Amino acid sequence: MIIIGIVENSKDRITFKLLKEIFTMSGYKIYYENKLESMAVLNKGNTNMIIIDIKSNLISSIENIGFHFNILIHTFLNPRDYENSKLKKLFSESEYIIINCDEERWTYLLNDNIKPIVITYGFNNKATINPSSYNIHDLIETNICFQREIKRIDNTMIEPFELPIKIYSREKLDIYSVISTITCGLLLGVDKFSINTFMNFNTHMVEEKSNCKK
């Protein structure tokens, strides 16, 4: 069982929806999704996956259940959330952390003796993954650079490379959701075909699908 958590405060909370999309593109099937659309169970062959959208009011409940995340994704948080010791504990007990290092207080989520593998991303040149350049017109065109090699969950390596992408959105913040989603997919072995398909994905289409369900 692979358990993925997402912590973000963006209005559309799009990372959770993009993750479901990229994994279904790569052959996973959604077997269960709760009515709040904050948790989904997916399956592909012998692999089962849970994706949880961790809103602030769920942090205590998740700790009480005892979830230990294979991958925990951070995009943006409200300032008060960085003071939450229970959230910090979730990060310290995860296997991988994908964390936005453009957030001023991102280091507050990490313990001094951090054990998880930390993958930083953002426009910061010191990040493990960053956009080398970007243009926003009717869409966003950017190159995502993987600056250092990264060990996948199956212990194979992702070598440094550059990935040109198009995001059908004018919202710069959508770049963060796309980068974190691609990184999570690569850690779990999503194939190149699925990544290439995702690169031309309209992020707002996710919202349209969600609204249709309602």
What CATH number does residue 77 fall under? 3.40.1190.10
Give the span between the Cα atoms of 122 and 135, in whole angstroms.
Answer: 16
**Digit-coded pLDDT (tens) for 144-165:** 999 999 999 999 999 998 888 8
**111: amino acid identity, one letter:** N
Domain that holds residue 28: 2-213
The pLDDT tens digits of the residues spanning 108-147 come to 999 776 789 999 999 998 999 999 888 888 888 888 999 9
Cβ of 153: how many Cβ atoms within 10 Å?
14
> And the tokens for 157?
């390596």
- Dig out the tokens for 54 from the structure: 């961790």
Overall domain count for the chain: 1
Kindly report the average pLDDT of the chain as a whole number. Answer: 86
Q: What is the pTM of this model?
A: 0.89
- Burial profile 52-76: b = 16 or more Cβ within 10 angstroms, e = fewer: bbbeeebbeebeeeebebbbbbbbb
